[in-house]
Amino acid sequence: MSSLNNQIIVVGGGLSGLSAAHTVVEQGGNVLLLDKNPFFGGNSTKATSGINGALTRTQVALDIKDSVEQFYQDTLKSARDLARPDLIRVLTGRSSSAVEWLQDKFALDLSLVSRLGGHSFPRTHRGKEQFPGMTITYALMEGFEELAATQPERARIIKKAKVEQLIKDDQGQIIGVEYVLVGKGSDGKVYKEYGPVILATGGYAADFTEEKSLLKQHRPELYGLSTTNGDHCTGDGIKMASVVGANTIDLEKVQVHPTGLVDPKEPDAKVKFLAAEALRGCGGLLLDADGNRFCDELGHRDY
C-alpha cells in the first residue's frame, strides 16, 4: 500500500493516538496510524471512572456549581511540588470542550457526573453503560476505522506494526519511522514511512524486561509489584525518542494505584484488574485486616 500524500504518522492506537488521528483529519491533514498490537485500545480501554471536565453542558444541566478556576486550584493542590501551572491552565481550561467533543462528534453518553478523589465538585463524566474508557475508546476506534474504509486517501491503518526506530535527516530532524510487522504472517522486512511523527505509545508500567527496563531503571522498588497495565506498555516510544536525543522528565513518577482486584486463586498474579477510583467516589470504604477504616478514601495517596 502506498503512503498518503503529506501524511502525519501517529504511533499508538490508544485514546491519545486515536484523538490525535481524528484531530489531524479534522484540521485537513492525512494520517497513518500504526500500532504494534492486532487491535487498538491500549490502557485507555481499562479506564473505569470517567473523564473530568469543568463547566460542561452536563454539569450546567445538573446545576453543579463548578468552575474552571476551582478545577485549576484542585489540580494545582494535588500536583504539589510537581505543578506546572501553564499546563494545568490548558488542561482545566479546555476540559469542557474535550468532554463535549466526545459527546458531539461521537454521540457518546456522558450524562452521569461523580465527585472523585481530589475534586471539590462532581466533574468526572461517564455514561450509563459499560466502562467509560472502553466506551470512549471504542467510539474513536470505530470512527477512525470507518474513516479509513471510506476515505483511504485521508486515513490509513496498519496494525501489528512495531515501530522500532525514528528516522532523522541530515539536519537531525525526525522525518519518519521504521517498523516491522509482528505476529502471524510477519515477513521480517523493515518498512519505512515518512512524515511528521506523533508518539502516543503510552507508558512503561509493564516493562518487566530484564534488560533496558525503564521501570527497573527509574523505580526499581516497584519492579516486583503487580500492574494493571497491558503487556504492551513497555515504553517503546520513550526508548526510541531517547535514542535519537530526546530529553525525558519525570520518568520516576509512576502512579501506584491504591486499590486493585485480587483473584483469591491467584493472589500473586503479575497482572491485576484495577479497582477503580469510582468505587471510593461512590462511597466505598478502605478497611485494614482488622476491619478498621484507616484513611480518607478521597484524599491524597501519599500516606
The residue among 203, 235, 277, 279 whose CA lies nearest residue 43 is 203
Please give the biggest Cα pair distance in the chain.
Answer: 65
Q: Note the Cα 303 to chain centre separation in Å.
A: 26
All residues at 6 or more sequence positions from 159 whose CB lies less than 8 Å from its CB, including other chains: 13, 35, 37, 38, 39, 40
Q: How far apart are CA 118 and CA 237, in angstroms?
A: 30
- Catalytic option among 22, 125, 126, 280: 280
Could you confirm whether 94 is annotated as catalytic?
Answer: no
Could you confirm whether 57 is annotated as catalytic?
Answer: no
Decide: 230 and 206 in contact? Cβ < 8 Å: yes
Q: How far apart are CA 125 and CA 113, in angstroms?
A: 5
- Catalytic option among 57, 126, 257, 301: 257
What Å distances lie between residue 271 and 46, 56, 135, 230, CA to CA? 13, 35, 22, 8
Catalytic residues: 257, 280
